[in-house]
Amino acid sequence: MLGLRRAVAALRPAVASAAAMSTLLVSQPRYAWLRELGLQEENSGVYNGLWGGGGQVVTTYCPATNEPIASVRQASLEDYEETVKKAKEAWKVWADIPAPKRGEIVRQIGDALRQKIKVLGSLVSLEMGKIFVEGVGEVQEYVDVCDYAVGLSRMIGGPILPSERPGHALIEQWNPVGLVGIITAFNFPVAVYGWNSAIAMICGNACLWKGAPTTSLTSVAVTKIIAKVLEDNKVPGAICSLVCGGADIGTAMARDERMDLLSFTGSTKVGKQVALMVQERFGRSLLELGGNNAIIVFEDADLNLVIPSALFAAVGTAGQRCTTARRLFLHESIHDEVVAKLAQAYAQVRIGDPWDPDTLYGPLHTKEAVKMFLDAVEQAKQQGGSVVYGGKVINRPGNYVEPTIVTGLPHNAPIVHTETFAPILYVLKFKEEEEVFAWNNEVNQGLSSSIFTKDLGRIFRWVGPKGSDCGIVNVNIPTSGAEIGGAFGGEKHTGGGRESGSDSWKLYMRRST
């Protein structure tokens, strides 16, 4: 009898563990499609040619329901050390492969992503919380950058310049920096890594990726797709290494002399800490930080363009894009009309599960984000603002809040100058062009901006030296929705980095003459 009791007691932890596993979404038939991405109840969060991980086990949650999806065993500092060594060794192989051949492998990565685009987009929707069409669009953006990088692999290089010495010439030679560390944020868990890795790879660099802990499953799923392509081409898997982890891993990357370039996407506060750590060792950093983006609407604007554009820019991804419109400056003559029409448009936004194709607006990413939303709304009221739409938590499972419009604040109110990662739009009045251009530029960040007008002279003043000081300057379109062919990034507290198109590739290389 005693032996039986001991046996039963020994079984209890296993039974409890099995019960916990059964509550994970990955274990439920409805989410069987997660298995198509190679995901299971507990997943390894380290890849350096082999999968492993000896760190803390972290569970990720669905923002729409707050149900646990699956868990990831993160990297320990020992795992990180081993992975950096393997990535540096892998670079020696990768750097010797001709750039067009590297481009061919990147093309295959794009094709592999294309084959999984819907299921991977569904994972982004499930784990990050953005609507399905945005999740798929994000994967498509990685595919597009791969296509772009293929062509770029045959074009990168420098000029041959005249020399003042007879019989000589100056050659500008571009070489890869070596190992590129990539730290990405939760809001674009696929695309931002794609922008960096595709370009870095054709330039001849190895990559080491640390995604946001709350979107670790997406990091694992993307890396599994890439790893298969590298394996098929018989090149080291550590060329695209993965270390899931928290602040300890991020700090190690920032301080590591072996990290030849560190690309960081995240908040201005953390980005400043990263920049200081990298600069302390005279390292290179590429920073994509916050944005307190403004739309300016003049009295001659086409309101049929303004209303859907402002709605999309402020409400898209539940206000969690770095390019989200947070300030809307309206000429005083049209202020009341635009606010009324915008409130009507907000009332028509379909709120629901992000994977439902009819949904236009999903949840915030975490419970903490909901608290920040409520705190910001309260501060706006205390500073003299009036909530004309929204402002509350929605009574349903998950992290849902109402898209919110606040009027009546001065342009320099503290809350207006604070970037809150939530769907809060501060609507402000202006009289003259000169003052509103100055108000656009008075915030710390300088990522995206937009004006709506038919005045050609004003448009050229807007894009000129006394106009917007942002890295992205739009005319008659929203602040969000950047294209991969141009350089993406911003000025001032946005960090100054540039990713994706134009000559952004130069940041991933070093030049010698």
Q: Give 234-290 pLDDT, tens digit per residue.
A: 999 999 999 999 999 999 999 999 999 999 999 999 999 999 999 999 999 999 999
Pairing of strands 261-265, 179-183: parallel
Please give the pLDDT value at position 18.
47
Nearest CA to 327 out of 410, 207, 206 is that of 410
Please give the pLDDT value at position 464.
99
Q: What are the phi and psi torsion angles at 280 (to 5°)? A: -60, -30
* Of 13-22, 295-304, 380-389, 418-427, minimum mean pLDDT range: 13-22
**Alpha helices by DSSP H, 153-267:** 191-202, 216-232, 247-255
Q: Which residue has the tokens 């342009």?
A: 411
CATH number of 70-289+495-512: 3.40.605.10
Calculate mean pLDDT across residues 52-77: 99
pLDDT tens profile 368-377: 999 999 999 9
Stretch (H or E) spanning 265? strand 261-265
Please give the pLDDT value at position 21.
64
* pLDDT band with cut points at 50, 70 and 90 for residue 4: very low
Give the whole-angstrom CA distance, residue 486 versus residue 506.
Answer: 14
Map out the domains of the chain as residue ranges: 70-289+495-512, 293-484
Calculate mean pLDDT across residues 433-449: 99
Fold of 293-484: Aldehyde Dehydrogenase; Chain A, domain 2 (3.40.309)
Q: What are the phi and psi torsion angles at 182 (to 5°)? A: -125, 115
pLDDT tens profile 6-57: 444 444 444 334 445 669 999 999 999 999 999 999 999 999 999 999 999 9
- Which residues have CB under 8 Å from 180's CB, separation 6+? 196, 197, 200, 205, 206, 207, 208, 259, 260, 261, 262, 263, 508
* pLDDT band with cut points at 50, 70 and 90 for residue 484: very high
Average of per-residue pLDDT values in the chain: 96
Report the phi/psi class of residue 217: left, alpha or beta, with left for phi > 0 and alpha for psi in -120 to 50.
Answer: alpha
Give the whole-angstrom CA distance, residue 364 versus residue 274.
Answer: 25
Residues with a known catalytic role: 288
Please give the pLDDT value at position 22.
64
Angle in degrees, 0-180, between the axes of helices 433-441 and 456-463, rounded to the nearest 10: 30
* pLDDT band with cut points at 50, 70 and 90 for residue 481: confident
pLDDT tens profile 303-342: 999 999 999 999 999 999 999 999 999 999 999 999 999 9
* Length of the chain measured in residues: 513
Give the whole-angstrom CA distance, residue 116 versus residue 412.
Answer: 46
Quick one: tokens of 511?
């030049």
259-269 exposure pattern, b = at least 16 Cβ within 10 A, e = fewer: bbbbbbbbebe
Please give the pLDDT value at position 482.
86
